[in-house]
Amino acid sequence: MSTLFISDLHLDLSRPEIIRQFENFIRDEAVQADALYILGDLFEAWIGDDADSEIGQRFIDAMQPMRDAGRPAFFMHGNRDFLLGERYARKAGLTLLPDPSVINIHGTPTLMMHGDSLCIDDETYQAFRTLSRSPEWQRSFLARTTAERQAFADAAREESMRHTRDGNNETIMDVNQKAVESAMHKSGVYRLIHGHTHRPNTHGFQLSGPSAERIVLGDWYEQGSSVNIKAGP
């Protein structure tokens, strides 16, 4: 019994080595697990299921061993691929999960999030997040041509790189501990798994008494990264 978690692969045709690592990861490791959870930013960018996407097809092909083995794969939106919809998910054999979601992993209720909603000190980003998750914004964005959407995504990526580079210190770009605790309280859990910050670690702390943990998944910019939770003896 084992459950695998990954996030922040940022799959993109410009990084073929990472695509190959992902194909190997699925074929050699993920097919052995009981379930695979992808907690957002699977793709570097996603401008809509209707846009022809070669990287989208590569992912569908890479997931074939999972579908053949009948292993379930779940996907939660990240800030790069929040427009990934039911239509593509069905083709890829992914079940969409809301952010946040709670699952019971081998007896331990566990909260899963992408993690961007916990970075509440980054007000510029939170304002954009609220706007871009509204059905109105998404409807009008998806009504534009794919060329216009691609141009918007490229500009947003530039802007986000600039935002990370200047004037925004490490603390602002990380999760806020109060937001972490409040999310865990609300869900009644003592374990949280998230990605987004690209700072893989396990943080232990007291959550109003009992000990709690926050597992942060790593990104795939340089190499594969996953967390495997096995059923304890």
Q: Is the C-alpha dihedral spanning 45, 47, 51, 57 positive or negative?
A: positive
Least distance CB 40 / Mn ion (angstroms):
6
Minimum CB distance to Mn ion, residue 178 (Å): 20
- Closer to Mn ion at the Cβ: 53 or 79? 79
Site for Mn ion in 117-156 (CB under 5 A): none
Position of tokens 């200047």? 166
- 198 counts as binding Mn ion under rule CB under 5 A: no
Of 53, 79, 110, 225, the residue at the interface with Mn ion (CB under 5 A) is: 79
The residue range among 34-42, 60-68, 144-152, 154-162 that interacts with Mn ion, by the rule CB under 5 A, is 34-42
CA distance 38 to 195: 9
| Binds Mn ion by CB under 5 A, chosen from 196, 217, 220, 229 | 196
- Edge-to-edge strands, sheet with 35-38: 94-97, 73-76, 35-38, 2-6, 227-230
Cβ atoms of 223 and 9 closer than 8 Å: no
Least distance between Mn ion and beta carbon 27 (Å): 26
Among 5, 41, 71, 75, binds Mn ion (CB under 5 A): 41
- Residue 117 to residue 16: CA distance in whole angstroms: 30
Peptide bond preceding 210: is omega within 30 degrees of 0, i.e. cis?
A: no
Q: Does residue 98 contact residue 40 with C-beta atoms inside 8 Å?
A: no
Nearer to Mn ion, 35 or 45 (CB): 45
Which ranges of the chain would DSSP assign to H, the alpha helix?
Answer: 16-28, 54-62, 64-69, 86-92, 123-132, 135-142, 146-165, 170-173, 177-187
CB of 41 to Mn ion, least distance (A): 4
Check binding of 78 to Mn ion (CB under 5 A).
yes
Is 51 or 76 the residue whose CB approaches Mn ion more closely? 76
**CA atoms 228, 30, 102, 225: torsion sign:** positive
* Smallest gap from residue 114 Cβ to Mn ion (A): 6
- 110 in contact with Mn ion (CB under 5 A): no
Closest-by-Cβ residue to Mn ion is: 196
Binding site for Mn ion (CB under 5 A): 41, 78-79, 196
